[in-house]
Amino acid sequence: MKTLGAEFFGTFWLVLGGCGSAVLAAGVPQLGIGYLGVALAFGLSVLTMAYAVGPISGAHFNPAVSLGLWLGGRFPGNRLLPYIVAQVLGGLAAGAVLFLIASGKAGFDASAGFAANGYGEHSPGGYSMLAALLCEVVLTAMFLLVILGATSKRAAPGFAPIAIGLTLTLIHLISIPVTNTSVNPARSTAVAFFAGEWAVSQLWLFWVAPLLGASLGALAYRLIATGRD
């Protein structure tokens, strides 16, 4: 239960920090922290909580990461489903808190976006479903490569959260215009149900693509890594 609690609060902080910055502070195209600020917020959320609870749960905060670590031989399969449940619940709790905060402003309309992921007319840059799918698969695969490499026994100890947080920042810099960046089904689910029907109807892609990408990334790492990882 302690590990599941760590995953719950870690995912809660990721969604509140990342999506909260997008909803409350981004200010695009008006004055605000912009895409760069949102990208940094997601990266910093993972980095800070990885140091805080990483020794307890491994700091997954993402169903795709848990799946990839299992396929990479770093995580027991019997803990996979409980981790995913804890991550989704933590994300939904953060989504509810963010919704209550954002609702305190006159004229707030969650259906206008609420940091939800989307493609087609709901992509920030108008990118197609195929482009969104490819983007999410490739970036999640690379994310898992970094995670598996940074947490290898041969990697410098203590630096994994920095590498992982910076990688997530880079991923957001690439893909915010394409999908608003998921690479994390729990993050996508956390805000989709508050954004409305359109976000829920497109949510499938932000489960399928990250899970597929994580699987490919884990398999790719196993091809290039030695048995000492």
Q: What is the pLDDT of residues 71-106, one digit of tens each?
A: 998 999 999 999 999 999 999 999 999 999 999 988
Cis-peptide into 29, omega within 30 deg: yes
Per-residue pLDDT at 106: 87
Contact 43, 169 (CB under 8 A): yes
Task: Report the run of H or E that residue 174 belongs to, with start and end.
Answer: helix 160-179
Higher pLDDT, 183 or 33: 183
User: What CATH number does the domain containing 167 carry?
Assistant: 1.20.1080.10
Q: How confident is the model at residue 229 (pLDDT cuts 50, 70, 90)?
A: low
What pLDDT, in 10s, does the model give residues 55-77? 999 999 999 999 999 999 899 99
Coil vs helix vs strand at 128 = coil
Q: How many domains does the chain have?
A: 1
Q: What is the mean pLDDT of the chain?
A: 93
Per-residue pLDDT at 102: 93
Per-residue pLDDT at 48: 96
pTM: 0.93
Token pair 């760069």 is found at: 36
**Full residue range of the structural domain in which residue 139 is found:** 1-228
Contact 21, 38 (CB under 8 A): yes
Per-residue pLDDT at 155: 80
CA distances, 145 to each of 44, 169, 192, 214 (Å):
19, 15, 27, 9
Q: Alpha-carbon dihedral of residues 89, 214, 51, 164, nearest 10 degrees?
A: -140
What pLDDT, in 10s, does the model give residues 170-191? 999 999 999 999 999 999 999 9
Q: What value does the mean pLDDT take over residues 215-221?
A: 95
Q: How confident is the model at residue 153 (pLDDT cuts 50, 70, 90)?
A: confident
